Amino acid sequence: MTNLLTQSAVERLNSPLARRVEFHDEVASTQDLALELAHAGAPHGTLVISRIQTGGHGRLGRSWGSPPGGIWMSIVLRPELEARYAPRMTQAAAVGVAKALHEIGVEARIKWPNDLLVEGKKICGILAVGGPAARREKTYQTEFVILGIGLNANLDPSDLGVSVEQAATIRSVLGHDVDLLELLDSLLSHLEHGIRHVKNFEPILRDWREFNCTLGERVRVRRSGQDFEGLALDLNPHGALRVATETGTIDLFEGEIEYVRPHSGDDGSE
Ligand code: BTN
């Protein structure tokens, strides 16, 4: 028998990332709601989760289909983190999601910066948005980070309003549905572990390298109106992607990448 995902069931998980739970049947966007709550002083570990989102969105304002059956959630984090380490949060979260998925047999890979893919199709998107930075002693600290996770679980790729070539779901990968409460429990505990290691980043970096599908790829980078190509070399200690380009090596703290597949014939084939 599967557990129902309800406010009290989520509260009973007793996760430090769900100290305060806002469970909804329907909201426009858990991310927007969590952001409002954070500005109003919501504590670390405020979890906003909804069965449906009517205005879910991802990076660069793209819309994010959120019908019933997925895990659509945003967490208010107050990690006392230097603002320059903020990109690490996305990578720590990506590792956490990858671990939770591998545990149930879904071999997802991390595509920098914030996607989890199964056989090239997106199964989860991560949206980490930093709040204002405030000066503390000699550094600038992010007051809060809203960590948004959209995980396609018990639904069909065709429910998502994007091309089925682009999307995967747990149901499409495993051929059956999973217990969403158990999945959320595991997800929160892996995320909590990742977030705890955001300052001492080495273990996350190691796991990220193991789970990624970006390093060693030729990538086309889109960053602030600039397009260029290069070879993805590594993740640097701050969570930035190190890319070798014709004019030198750069560290990408933000941006979009596309894999450059060899054209047919490049490898000698037709
Ligand atoms: C991306 O791939 O661009 C990130 C997608 C993030 C989607 C999640 S779903 C829960 C939360 N609420 C939103 O509106 N967005 C995030």
* C-beta separation of 166 from 152 below 8 A: no
Whole-number pLDDT of residue 193 = 95
* C-beta separation of 223 from 119 below 8 A: no
Judged by DSSP in three states, 30 sits in helix
Of the residues 30, 127, 254, 256, which should be mutated to test ligand 1's pocket, given the most ligand atoms within 8 Å of the CB?
127
Q: If you measure from the C-alpha of residue 150 to the centroid of ligand 1, how many angstroms do you get, rounded to a whole number?
A: 5
- Dihedral angle over CA of 6, 12, 14, 15, nearest 10: -20
Q: If you measure from the C-alpha of residue 87 to the centroid of ligand 1, how many angstroms do you get, rounded to a whole number?
A: 16
Of the residues 30, 49, 64, 151, which should be mutated to test ligand 1's pocket, given the most ligand atoms within 8 Å of the CB?
64
Packed helices 180-196 and 86-103: angle between N→C axes, nearest 10 degrees: 140
Whole-number pLDDT of residue 85 = 81
Q: If you measure from the C-alpha of residue 195 to the centroid of ligand 1, how many angstroms do you get, rounded to a whole number?
A: 18
Nearest to 184 by CA among 28, 48, 37, 77: 48
Whole-number pLDDT of residue 270 = 29
Q: In ligand 1, which atom is closest to the CA atom of 50? A: 10
The finding on whether 128 has its CB within 6 A of some atom of ligand 1 is no
Q: In what order do the strands lie in the sheet with 139-142?
A: 81-82, 139-142, 133-136
- The Cα diameter of the chain in Å comes to 62
Tokens for 16, please give them.
């430090």
Whole-number pLDDT of residue 1 = 64
Judged by DSSP in three states, 68 sits in coil
Whole-number pLDDT of residue 80 = 83
Q: If you measure from the C-alpha of residue 58 to the centroid of ligand 1, how many angstroms do you get, rounded to a whole number?
A: 4
* C-beta separation of 198 from 79 below 8 A: yes
Of the residues 60, 72, 114, which should be mutated to test ligand 1's pocket, given the most ligand atoms within 8 Å of the CB?
72
Q: If you measure from the C-alpha of residue 35 to the centroid of ligand 1, how many angstroms do you get, rounded to a whole number?
A: 13
Whole-number pLDDT of residue 84 = 78
Task: Tell me how far apart the alpha carbons of residues 29 and 73 are, in angstroms, rounded to a whole number.
Answer: 9
Q: If you measure from the C-alpha of residue 56 to the centroid of ligand 1, how many angstroms do you get, rounded to a whole number?
A: 6
Q: What is the pTM (predicted TM-score) of this model? A: 0.94
The finding on whether 58 has its CB within 6 A of some atom of ligand 1 is yes
Query: In this structure, is the dihedral angle defined by the CA atoms of residues 99, 102, 104 and 107, taken in order, positive or negative?
Result: positive
The finding on whether 64 has its CB within 6 A of some atom of ligand 1 is yes
Nearest to 255 by CA among 215, 226, 217, 212: 226
Q: In ligand 1, which atom is closest to the CA atom of 28? A: 14
Each of the 270 residues of the chain gets a pLDDT tens digit; together they read 688 899 999 999 999 999 999 999 999 999 999 999 999 999 999 999 999 999 999 988 899 999 999 999 999 999 888 887 888 999 999 999 999 999 999 999 999 999 999 999 999 999 999 998 888 778 888 899 999 999 999 999 999 988 889 999 999 999 999 999 999 999 999 999 999 989 889 999 999 999 999 999 999 998 877 889 999 999 998 889 999 999 999 999 888 899 997 544 333 332
Measured by CA distance, the residue closest to atom 11 of ligand 1 is 148
Q: In ligand 1, which atom is closest to the CA atom of 115? A: 2
Let me know if 84 is exposed, middle or buried by CB neighbors in 10 A (0-12, 13-18, 19+): middle
